[in-house]
Structure 1
Amino acid sequence: MSLKDFTNNRMKMSHVYQPVTLKVLLQQNGQATIDEIAKSLLLYDQSQIDYYGLRTKSLVGKVLTNNDVVEPIKQGRSLVGYRLVQDDLTEAFQSPIMT
């Protein structure tokens, strides 16, 4: 069976798993790791994006903001991101967790 026949006639579209997996494989000359495929699938999983968005706002962003490492970026009343407060990042990249 050809890939074209499979995608046109036999592939079931209950979710994006199969087409995203095939897209990754085709973009990488027919081979990809499980992690590469999983990361690509996450791009299409809005529930995971929402979950980590909430965690970023309520946990990580709050701690980094309270410690003057980042400052919030807002559009109106909505928090849309963070920016580093420090201009000199040299010390941050020499931290043991960054190496």
Structure 2
Amino acid sequence: MAFDASKFLKTPDLEGFDNLKKDELVLLAKHLKLDFIVSMRKQIIKNLVIDKLVDAEILGEEALELKVENVDAFKLKQLELEHELKLKELEMKERLEMDKKEKRR
């Protein structure tokens, strides 16, 4: 049976929410009109949904205990992206140097 976000929101329960799969969280986040990217990690989407549901008083404050701090994950992702950017910059510099050498010939 397909996940029905509106049905879930009519009778939300914390245990059921905690057991949602990523694709179900994505459907719920879309239903709630949250700004997110599907490629985000499951826990990040889950945190966004928890914040929205607690703010809207659909889930109680105890739902906040399900959140996982992603500071380390964000820092790791940022470092990974910075590393990728540096590699791309190096590749571009190498290509420019090769192009200059080719033009000289």
Greater helix proportion: 2
Determine which structure has more spread, i.e. the larger CA radius of gyration. Answer: 2
TM-score (normalised: structure 2): 0.31
Larger strand share, 1 or 2: 1
**Higher RCO (CA < 8 A, seq sep 6+):** 2
Q: TM-score, normalised on structure 1?
A: 0.32
